[in-house]
């Protein structure tokens, strides 16, 4: 995979993005507001370097000094306290359901037992577990932010274990979604997949029975799935967000951007957004994605 040298400015990367996707830079519309603000000043994108596809493809400035060293008390391990609120801990608990002949364990905050108006489920990548998505102080406090957004807006947030990254694991997540639809029938269901967990997100999208319960998918440094284009999923129009770092050594951003372009070519009005974090690495989308911005867009688009 090609490695991109960290840039002192976004100029070279913007030129590369324009060459890869072959589009003129344009301005995009503002996202609709549904979730009430929470620490927006700290978590919003500080500088958008370029915008393509009417705002559906953004290149966002990532500064290792500002967004990691100045944000973390201990680099990549503990964020400074002003980025977090421990209010979600009041409702945080460990849960399990029986599904597919096995026990599916997950952590949850907010209205997990019912009455939620929105549910976000986090699916970890290889080497992760259900505790990753409720760690308040790693990834710059961004997991703490999404927990707070859901708790403060009458929603629920779940971080789950699952059998594997194939059919069994996909069935586990589908069962968890179905359980949440039973206890909160009016809730919007959003699934966010980190890294290799994205395989499960694509599987959910390709399965009509699973996809009908979805209101959005976030792919955070995840692989593409060419089978999506021929699966009939385009007609279901489940909103998709794709986030990547330009220095990702696991999944090359150019490959993912080319797939985004294929989706746009096949269905120009499909609700999909791509955010590229300039000089970011594999974990940068989990650290930097503006949850409120993305979720509000999905609530409007779905």
Q: How many domains does the chain have?
A: 1
Please indicate, yes or no, if residue 3 is contained in any of the structural domains: no
Cα-to-chain-centroid distance, residue 8: 27
Residue 101 buriedness (CB in 10 A; 0-12 / 13-18 / 19+): exposed
Instruction: Report pLDDT digits (tens) over 114-155.
Output: 999 999 999 999 999 999 999 999 999 999 999 999 999 999
- Residue 280 structural domain: 11-301
Q: For residue 57, how many C-alpha atoms fall within 13 Å in the half-sphere facing its CB?
A: 24
H runs (alpha helix) in the chain: 11-21, 40-43, 64, 142-152, 167-183, 198-206, 208-211, 253-266, 284-288, 291-301
For position 189, which CATH number holds?
Answer: 3.40.50.1820
Is residue 40 left, alpha or beta, with left meaning phi > 0 and alpha meaning psi from -120 to 50?
alpha
Please indicate, yes or no, if residue 4 is contained in any of the structural domains: no
Percent of the chain that is helix, strand, coil (3-state, to 5):
40, 20, 40
Please indicate, yes or no, if residue 276 is contained in any of the structural domains: yes
Q: Average pLDDT of the chain?
A: 91
Instruction: Report pLDDT digits (tens) over 8-34.
Output: 344 445 545 544 444 433 333 333 348
CB 71 within 8 A of CB 39: no
- Strand partners of residue 105: 96
Please indicate, yes or no, if residue 297 is contained in any of the structural domains: yes
Cα-to-chain-centroid distance, residue 118: 15
Please indicate, yes or no, if residue 247 is contained in any of the structural domains: yes
CB 21 within 8 A of CB 261: yes
Please indicate, yes or no, if residue 5 is contained in any of the structural domains: no
Please indicate, yes or no, if residue 1 is contained in any of the structural domains: no
Please indicate, yes or no, if residue 221 is contained in any of the structural domains: yes
pTM above 0.85, yes or no: yes
Instruction: Report pLDDT digits (tens) over 201-222.
Output: 999 999 999 999 999 999 999 9
Place of tokens 């998918």: 217
């Amino acid at each position: 995979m090609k490695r991109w040298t960290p840039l002192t400015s976004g100029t070279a990367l913007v030129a590369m993005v324009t060459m890869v996707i072959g589009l003129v830079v344009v301005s995009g519309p503002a996202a609709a507001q549904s979730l009430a603000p929470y620490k927006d000043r700290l978590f919003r994108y500080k500088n958008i370097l370029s915008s393509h596809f009417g705002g559906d493809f953004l290149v966002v400035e990532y500064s290792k000094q500002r967004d990691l060293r100045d944000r973390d008390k201990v680099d990549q391990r503990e964020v400074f306290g002003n980025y977090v609120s421990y209010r979600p801990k009041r409702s945080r608990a460990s849960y399990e359901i029986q599904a597919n002949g096995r026990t599916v364990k997950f952590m949850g905050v907010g209205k997990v037992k019912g009455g939620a108006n929105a549910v976000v489920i986090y699916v970890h990548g290889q080497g992760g577990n259900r505790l990753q998505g409720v760690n308040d102080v790693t990834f710059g406090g961004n997991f703490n932010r999404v927990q707070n957004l859901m708790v403060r807006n009458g929603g629920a947030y779940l971080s789950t274990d699952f059998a594997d990254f194939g059919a069994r694991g996909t069935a586990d997540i589908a069962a968890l979604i179905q359980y949440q639809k039973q206890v909160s029938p009016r809730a919007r269901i959003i699934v966010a997949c980190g890294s290799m967990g994205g395989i499960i997100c694509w599987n959910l999208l390709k399965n009509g029975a699973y996809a009908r319960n979805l209101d959005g998918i976030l792919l955070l440094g995840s692989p593409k799935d060419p089978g999506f284009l021929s699966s009939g999923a385009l007609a279901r129009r489940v909103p998709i967000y794709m986030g990547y770092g330009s220095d990702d050594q696991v999944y090359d951003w150019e490959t993912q951007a080319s797939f985004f372009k294929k989706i746009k070519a096949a269905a120009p009005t499909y609700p999909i957004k791509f955010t590229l974090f300039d000089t970011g690495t594999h974990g940068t989308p989990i650290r930097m994605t503006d949850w409120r911005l993305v979720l509000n867009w999905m609530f409007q688009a779905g």
